[in-house]
């Protein structure tokens, strides 16, 4: 039970850091998505069973804070976790490469879903501007934070799922 | 008896010799001799003294270095403490300046009621230009209220919870503001973008717009009160083939450094959508 409840304070902290710090550090118009990288790193931990719950909770929290449609945020994070679990199921031997791959493709996927949702809700964002000013810089920033976040989430997974529980 | 006499004579002679030497020395007759011996002695004394001091220095220098290092560490710690204090005071001064400017602004616009709020976050989606402020419905904030700084228009309240609100900046891609160009007396629509640039649309070809024209809210549409300063006209693009002119706006507010804002709490937006004729077939 505690494994499920622990998601609340951790993801709340992620939302705070995301909105207060990460969103302020911009490259062109892009910014790092800490929640996305945290969820990807968490889902890539073999012993973790709660990654889908984390994705729903994280999507809900960010959706409430953000001006983006909540359904898009939720769908975006669920897609990232789905991608991570898919990569994990392929028995990837290099977890760091898996992390970078999921962060790269996951960011593109998430931003595409957000873009489509925003355009559908009436925003007029040119595709080329959105891609060059937002998506690409965001991918780069997410890749930059992927490694340290992955290490932290690995430690958290080892703490929450001690080795004797690992199959 | 004879011995006693001879000893007295010897003593007397010795006394006379010593007295003679003293008299000669005091008279200056021995100066060359004393100069030679004195010079040598002084040279020797100097050499010994110098060597002694050198050895003493050699033995005591490490102790001094340790003491200096300790002293230096103390000074470094003191400098660090003072630098931290300076930064803290500079922050307080900047904050006080901002608050003073906001107070001046609210005094110079007595028709509006303001509620000051701190910007505590930004939207997590980089496609959107929203900020989160630390005032909500408990403080009388309602959806649609305009948000300004002492410099000019920032945006409007988009969503409210009890203790915080989300503000849509005028630079957001979906933000549209009816504006009035003060010098050319022309109306236009100002639109935000992903890059944060502001552009004027629906600007009549007949309007004589010039770079530097002041851009204010027009109040049309009922979403913002009139005459709030936004910025100045930047580049203008006028082509005969187009229906409207286009122009960029240089905002007076630095949106990357928003810290404290004012919410105009006595303004309620007017929903004019029922008055807009239905254009569907």
Which residues of chain B are within 8 Å of residue A35 when distances are taken between CB atoms? 124
Determine the pLDDT at residue A38.
94
Read off the pLDDT of each residue in B21-34 and give the average, rounded to a whole number.
75
Which residues of chain B are within 8 Å of residue A19 when distances are taken between CB atoms? 120-124, 132
CB distance B128 to B164 below 8 Å: no
Q: How many domains does chain B have?
A: 2
- CB contact under 8 Å between A68 and B159, yes or no, is no
Of A20, A28, A114, which has the smallest distance from its Cβ to B127's Cβ? A114
Q: Is residue B211 part of a domain?
A: yes
Q: Is residue B230 part of a domain?
A: yes
CA distance A119 to chain B (A): 10
Which residues of chain A are within 8 Å of residue B130 when distances are taken between CB atoms? 66-67
- CB contact under 8 Å between A19 and B128, yes or no, is no
- For the entire predicted model, the pTM comes to 0.71
Per residue in B123-159, pLDDT tens? 989 999 999 998 888 888 999 999 998 888 999 999 9
Q: Which long-range contacts (CB under 8 A, 24 or more apart) does A80-83 make?
A: A80/A36, A80/A39, A80/A40, A80/A43, A80/A55, A80/A106, A80/A109, A80/A110, A81/A39, A81/A40, A81/A43, A81/A51, A81/A52, A81/A54, A81/A55, A83/A40, A83/A109
CB distance A73 to A117 below 8 Å: no
Which residues of chain B are within 8 Å of residue A70 when distances are taken between CB atoms? none
Query: Which carries the bigger pLDDT value, residue B40 or residue A151?
Result: A151
pLDDT at B269 over 60: yes
- CB contact under 8 Å between B123 and A66, yes or no, is yes
pLDDT at B103 over 60: yes
| Domain that includes residue B243, residue range | 176-254
Please state, for a pLDDT cut of 90, what percent of chain B lies above it. Answer: 16
Q: Is residue B201 part of a domain?
A: yes
Query: Which carries the bigger pLDDT value, residue B126 or residue B222?
Result: B126
Nearest residue on chain B to A21, judged by CA atoms?
B121
Determine the pLDDT at residue A167.
43
Determine the pLDDT at residue A166.
45
> Could you tell me if A127 lies within 8 Å of chain B, comparing CB atoms?
no
B60: burial class by Cβ within 10 Å (0-12, 13-18, 19+)? exposed
pLDDT at B1 over 60: no
Q: Is residue B248 part of a domain?
A: yes
CATH number assigned to the domain comprising residue B232:
2.40.10.350
Read off the pLDDT of each residue in B207-232 and give the average, rounded to a whole number.
87
pLDDT tens digits, chain A, 167 residues: what are they?
677 788 888 998 998 888 888 888 888 889 999 999 999 999 998 888 888 999 999 999 898 888 888 899 999 999 999 999 888 877 666 788 889 999 999 999 999 999 999 999 888 888 888 888 999 999 999 999 999 999 999 888 888 887 654 44
Determine the pLDDT at residue A163.
66
Q: Is residue B134 part of a domain?
A: no
Read off the pLDDT of each residue in B22-38 and give the average, rounded to a whole number.
74
Q: Is residue B90 part of a domain?
A: no
> Could you tell me if A107 lies within 8 Å of chain B, comparing CB atoms?
no
> Could you tell me if B257 lies within 8 Å of chain A, comparing CB atoms?
no
Q: Is residue B145 part of a domain?
A: no
Distance of CA B40 to the CA centre of its chain: 68
What's the mean pLDDT when you consider all of chain B? 83
Q: Which two tokens stand for residue B176?
A: 């549209």
**Taking CA B86 as the corner, what is the angle to CA B85 and CA B91, rounded to the nearest 5 degrees?**
100
Per residue in B161-193, pLDDT tens? 888 899 999 999 989 999 988 888 888 999 999
């Amino acid at each position: 039970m505690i494994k499920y409840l622990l998601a609340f304070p951790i993801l709340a902290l992620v939302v705070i850091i995301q909105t207060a710090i990460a969103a302020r550090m911009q490259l062109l118009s892009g910014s790092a998505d800490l929640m996305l990288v945290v969820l990807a790193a968490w889902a890539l931990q073999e012993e973790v069973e709660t990654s889908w719950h984390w994705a729903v909770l994280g999507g809900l929290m960010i959706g409430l804070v953000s001006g983006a449609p909540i359904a898009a945020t939720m769908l975006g994070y669920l897609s990232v976790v789905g991608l991570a679990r898919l990569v994990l199921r392929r028995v990837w031997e290099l977890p760091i490469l898996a992390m970078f791959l999921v962060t790269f493709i996951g960011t593109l996927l998430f931003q595409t879903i957000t873009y489509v949702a925003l355009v559908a809700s009436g925003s007029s964002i040119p595709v080329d501007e959105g891609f060059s000013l937002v998506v690409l810089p965001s991918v780069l920033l997410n890749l930059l934070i992927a490694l340290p976040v992955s290490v932290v989430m690995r430690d958290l997974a080892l703490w929450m799922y001690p080795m004797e529980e690992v199959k | 008896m004879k011995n006693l006499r001879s000893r007295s004579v010897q003593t007397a002679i010795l006394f006379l010799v010593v007295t003679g030497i003293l008299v000669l020395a005091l008279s200056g007759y021995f100066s060359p001799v004393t100069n030679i011996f004195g010079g040598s002695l002084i040279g020797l004394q100097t050499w010994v003294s110098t060597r002694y001091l050198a050895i003493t220095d050699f033995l005591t220098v490490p102790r001094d270095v340790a003491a200096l290092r300790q002293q230096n560490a103390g000074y470094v710690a003191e400098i660090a403490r003072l630098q931290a204090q300076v930064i803290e005071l500079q922050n307080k001064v900047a904050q006080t300046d901002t608050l003073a400017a906001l107070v001046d602004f609210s005094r110079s616009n007595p028709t509006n009621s303001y509620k000051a709020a701190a910007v505590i976050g930004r939207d997590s989606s980089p496609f959107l230009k929203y900020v989160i402020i630390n005032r909500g419905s408990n403080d009388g904030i309602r959806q649609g209220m305009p948000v300004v700084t002492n410099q000019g228009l920032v945006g409007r309240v988009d969503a409210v919870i009890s203790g915080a609100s989300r503000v849509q900046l005028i630079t957001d891609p979906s933000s549209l503001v009816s504006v009035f160009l003060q010098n050319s007396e022309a109306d236009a629509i100002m639109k935000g973008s992903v890059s944060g640039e502001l552009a004027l649309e629906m600007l009549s070809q007949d309007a004589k717009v010039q770079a530097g024209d002041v851009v204010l809210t027009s109040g049309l549409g009922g979403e913002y009160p009139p005459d709030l300063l936004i910025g100045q006209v930047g580049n203008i693009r006028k082509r005969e083939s187009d229906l409207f002119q286009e122009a960029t706006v240089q905002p007076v507010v630095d949106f990357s450094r928003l810290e404290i804002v004012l919410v105009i709490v006595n303004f309620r937006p007017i929903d004019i959508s029922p008055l807009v004729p239905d254009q569907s077939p």
